[in-house]
C-alpha cells in the first residue's frame, strides 16, 4: 500500500511541477510579446513587472519540471541517461512551499492576461470595441448593414 501511495504522490508532484513550468513560460512569453501600451491601458501592473516575475519563476521551476518529467518517464519504464539526471537534480527544485509559485501565473492569467488580450481588438476597433455609425432613426444599423 505504501508503494502505491508513494507512486501516486510522486506522479502528482511531477505533473504539478510540469504544469507550473508550462504556465510560467506561457505567461512570460505572452507578456513579452504584448505591446507596453496594452499594460498601460488595461492592466494593473507594468509589462516589465510581469515579464521579470514570470521568467524568474520559470527559472526556479524548470529543474522541478525536468526532474518530474524524468520521474514520469521512469514510471513508464523509459530509461533516462545519467547525465540528464545529474543536470536536473542540480537545478533549483520546488519544495513543499513551491505551491506558492502558482500565485504569480494564476494572478496574471486571472486578471491582466484577459485585459491585455483585448488590446489588439481595441486598437483595431473590433469586437466589443467596434464603433459603428448610427442613424438618426435610433436603430444601431450602420451603412454596412444596409
**Average pLDDT of the chain?**
75
Residue 133 per-residue DSSP state: -
64 touches 17 (CB < 8 A): yes
The yes-or-no verdict on residue 141 having pLDDT over 60 is no
Q: What is the largest CA-CA distance in the chain?
A: 77
| Residue 54 maps to a domain | yes
| Residue 145 maps to a domain | no
Average pLDDT over residues 1-7: 79
CA dist., res. 22 & res. 16, Å (int): 10
- Percent of the chain with pLDDT strictly greater than 70: 69
| Residue 50 maps to a domain | yes
| Residue 132 maps to a domain | no
Contacts of 77 (CB under 8 A, 6+ apart): none
- The string of DSSP letters for 9-53 reads HHHHHHHHHHHHHHHHHHHHHHHHHS-HHHHHHH-SS-HHHHHHH
| Residue 12 maps to a domain | yes
The yes-or-no verdict on residue 79 having pLDDT over 80 is no
Q: Which structural domain, as residue segments, surrounds residue 107?
A: 2-127
- Dihedral of CA atoms 95, 100, 106, 111 in degrees, nearest 10, equals -150
Which residue intervals of 34-133 are DSSP H helices? 36-42, 47-75, 82-90, 103-107, 113-117, 119-124
pLDDT, residue 91, reads 56
Domain count, the chain: 1
146 band by pLDDT with thresholds 50, 70 and 90: very low
The yes-or-no verdict on residue 47 having pLDDT over 70 is yes
| Residue 123 maps to a domain | yes
| Residue 137 maps to a domain | no
Query: What pLDDT, in 10s, does the model give residues 121-133?
Result: 666 655 555 555 5
| Residue 144 maps to a domain | no
17 touches 65 (CB < 8 A): yes
Amino acid at each position: 500500500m505504501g508503494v502505491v501511495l508513494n507512486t501516486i504522490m510522486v506522479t502528482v508532484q511531477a505533473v504539478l511541477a510540469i504544469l507550473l513550468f508550462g504556465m510560467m513560460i506561457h505567461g512570460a512569453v505572452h507578456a513579452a510579446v504584448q505591446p507596453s501600451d496594452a499594460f498601460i491601458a488595461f492592466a494593473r501592473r507594468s509589462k516589465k513587472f510581469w515579464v521579470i516575475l514570470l521568467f524568474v519563476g520559470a527559472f526556479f521551476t524548470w529543474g522541478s519540471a525536468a526532474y518530474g518529467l524524468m520521474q514520469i518517464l521512469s514510471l513508464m519504464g523509459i530509461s533516462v541517461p545519467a547525465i540528464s539526471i545529474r543536470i536536473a537534480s542540480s537545478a533549483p527544485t520546488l519544495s513543499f512551499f513551491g505551491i506558492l509559485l502558482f500565485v504569480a501565473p494564476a494572478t496574471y492569467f486571472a486578471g491582466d492576461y484577459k485585459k491585455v488580450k483585448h488590446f489588439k481588438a481595441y486598437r483595431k476597433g473590433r469586437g466589443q470595441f467596434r464603433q459603428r455609425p448610427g442613424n438618426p432613426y435610433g436603430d444601431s444599423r450602420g451603412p454596412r448593414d444596409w
